[in-house]
Amino acid sequence: MSEIVCVQGLGFVGSAMAVAVAGARNEYGKARYNVIGLDLPSAHGEERVGHINRGKFPFPTNDENLKAATDLAHKIGNLKATTDAEELKKADVIIVDVHLDIPITVNGAAPEFSNFSAAIENIGRFAKPEVLVIVETTVPPGTCENIVLPILLQEFKKRGLDEDSFYLAHSYERVMPGPEYLSSITNYWRVFSGYTEEAAQRCAMFLSSVINVEEFPLTRLQSTTASETAKVLENTYRAINIALIDEWTKFAEKINIDLHEVIRAISLRPTHSNIRYPGLGVGGYCLTKDPLFAPASAKLFLDEDMDFPFSMLAIETNNQMPNHTVQRIEKMSEPVKQKPIRVLLCGVTYRADVGDTRFSSSEILVRELEQRGYRVVCHDPHVDYWDETAREVVKEMPSSEDFAIVVLAVAHSEYQSFDFANWSSSKNQFLDANSVLTEGSIKKIRESGAIVEIIGRGVHF
């Protein structure tokens, strides 16, 4: 009989993880696991559950492999979804993918543990003995030891179960929605640790059955706190890297050089190959919050207010990056006589080729522009309705004649292949804020009579 795996939380990570686990095969080519996806009985939860139970991935994606794998698991019958927490009783393995927000208040950044803790309590209430619990959620370092473990111990004790009758591990995800969405789970390196030796061994065995560990070997750390720290530091490093480029972007534009060209030259050096490029800003659920988890951990678990100046400055800098694009647009607007100035914003998601609009830099940009009196129309091939700004998003490219300024905010593949030169009119001013256009496209658009400016380049480029 196949083991049962329950994935708790069917967001962008959990849904893909459920499909990945359902796709695992044994030595005979048969499905290794029966997978249950669990979400809250909310409108969003019911919608996700409904999609999965119809064999449809619940979020927009251009990953054909992910869509096909979801459909195949539905046809085979080894993937279903529910909002009934009692389904946890059946699980041999439970993967926790419940999001943990960390809003900034006047008293600093404080994680909102209520939903996460409630999810762990449900595991304690319903899970059977010998269950393996793997926390994938990004959490403040120390959460597994100081929050997850005590809750599970308490709930198991209430049921008269031994304290050592479950196995707790942490293994953070590196999911990247986009064309390689599914592969970013099954063909990518994993870091993990167990609270006990047996928990670590069981976690390694499970991960090895889902992930291609021959080409992407697992990395085991000495404690769950170390594994939690690795995820937070990994994303903090990336956030700081991006923030660093912001000040150089402004400098490059002032002295009329092409920072993209400069960075391409620098990145040839292997030690600097991952240097970031100029852009609209930082978006998405991870990089906008993860640097906050280390100071939160110090306050929660050490009762200390430790300083993380680089981390906090990166958050502040990245939040302000779209304002630079606003300033460029205002400068471009000076010769435009017809008011209000109409702007076409191309791209509202946090990154290319995904439908996720959470913490999108485009949101900051739109709010700032509209506050200054601009009329903004939003276009995105992956979004019908933008929840965060409560507006419809057009999916067909409108007439260029209706807009004085066109902002290319997200490098969707649809934009990279779109013939902007043929679409544009001489009245348009383009601002490429995310390296959407090729040099050839820029040349053709300019030949059509339109103006093209690029974030990170002086106006002469």
Residues 219 and 364 in one domain: no
Say how far apart CA 319 and CA 217 lie, in whole Å: 35
Asked if residue 168 and residue 111 are part of one domain, the reply reads: yes
Q: Is residue 247 part of a domain?
A: no
**53 lies in some domain:** yes
The 8-class DSSP code of residue 354 comes to: B
Residues 126, 36 contacting (CB under 8 angstroms) = no
Q: Are residues 380 and 301 in the same domain?
A: yes
Which helix or strand (DSSP H or E) is residue 70 part of? Answer: helix 64-76
Select from 185, 210, 227 the last residue of a domain: 227
Give yes or no: residues 311 and 440 share one domain.
yes
Q: Are strands 93-96 and 79-82 parallel, antiparallel or unpaired?
A: unpaired
Q: Which helix (H) or strand (E) holds 378?
A: strand 375-379
Q: Does 264 lie in the same domain as 223?
A: no
CA nearest neighbour of 145 among 59, 226, 217, 27: 226
- Strand blocks (E) in 74-145: 79-82, 93-96, 104-105, 108-109, 131-135
- Going by C-alpha positions, the residue among 293, 47, 72, 61 that lies closest to residue 178 is 61
Q: Are residues 194 and 264 in the same domain?
A: no
Q: Are residues 93 and 219 in the same domain?
A: yes
Give domain status of residue 233, yes or no.
no
Give one DSSP letter per residue of 251-298, joined into a string. Answer: HHHHTT-BHHHHHHHHHTSGGGTT-----S---STTTTTGGGHHHHHH
- Structure letter (DSSP) for residue 28: T
Nearest-5° Cα angle at 68, 66 to 71: 110
**Of 184, 218, 209, nearest to 66 (Cα)?**
184
Query: Within 13 Å of residue 401, how many CA atoms lie on the same side as its CB?
Result: 1
Token duo for residue 423: 């679409």
326 & 446 share domain: yes
Whether 232 maps to a domain, the answer reads: no
The CA angle 41-45-47, to the nearest 5 degrees, is 120
CATH code: domain of residue 114: 3.40.50.720
Please state the pTM of the whole predicted model.
Answer: 0.92
- Of 118, 107, 162, 102, nearest to 8 by C-alpha is 118
SS3 label, residue 423: helix
Which of 415, 312, 405 shows the shortest CA–CA distance to 365? 405
Residue 391 structural domain: 256-454
| 460 inside domain | no
Count: domains in the chain = 2
Indicate whether 430 belongs to any domain.
yes
In angstroms, rounded to a whole number, what is the distance separating the alpha carbons of residues 405 and 332? 8
Q: Are 96 and 9 spatial neighbours (Cβ–Cβ below 8 Å)?
A: yes
DSSP conformation letters of 293-350: HHHHHHHHHS------HHHHHHHHHHHHHHHHHHHHHHHHHTT--SSSPEEEEE--SS
Helix 293-301 with 309-333: angle, nearest 10 deg:
150
The residue out of 184, 208, 227 marking a domain boundary is 227
CB count in 10 Å sphere of residue 271: 8
Identify whether residues 219 and 277 lie together within a single domain.
no
Same domain for 335 and 219: no
The DSSP output letter for 88 is G
Does residue 99 belong to any structural domain of this protein? yes
201 within 8 A of 220, measured Cβ to Cβ: no
Q: CB of 461 within 8 A of CB of 437?
A: no
Instruction: Specify the pairing of strand 375-379 against strand 405-408.
Output: unpaired
**Neighbour count for residue 302 (Cβ, 10 Å):** 10
Is 356 a member of any domain?
A: yes
Q: So what's the pLDDT on residue 425?
A: 92
Kindly state whether residues 285 and 203 are assigned to the same domain.
Answer: no
Same domain, yes or no: 260 and 219: no
pLDDT tens, N- to C-terminus, the chain (461 residues):
689 999 999 999 999 999 999 999 999 999 999 999 999 999 999 999 999 999 999 998 999 999 999 999 999 999 999 999 999 999 999 999 999 988 876 567 789 999 999 999 999 999 999 999 999 999 999 999 999 999 999 999 999 998 788 999 999 999 999 999 999 999 999 999 999 999 999 999 999 999 999 999 999 999 999 999 999 999 999 999 999 999 999 999 999 999 999 999 999 999 999 999 999 988 777 778 889 999 999 999 998 889 999 999 998 898 889 999 999 999 999 999 889 999 999 999 999 999 999 889 999 999 999 999 999 999 999 999 999 999 999 999 999 999 999 999 999 999 999 999 999 999 999 999 999 999 999 999 999 999 999 999 987 77
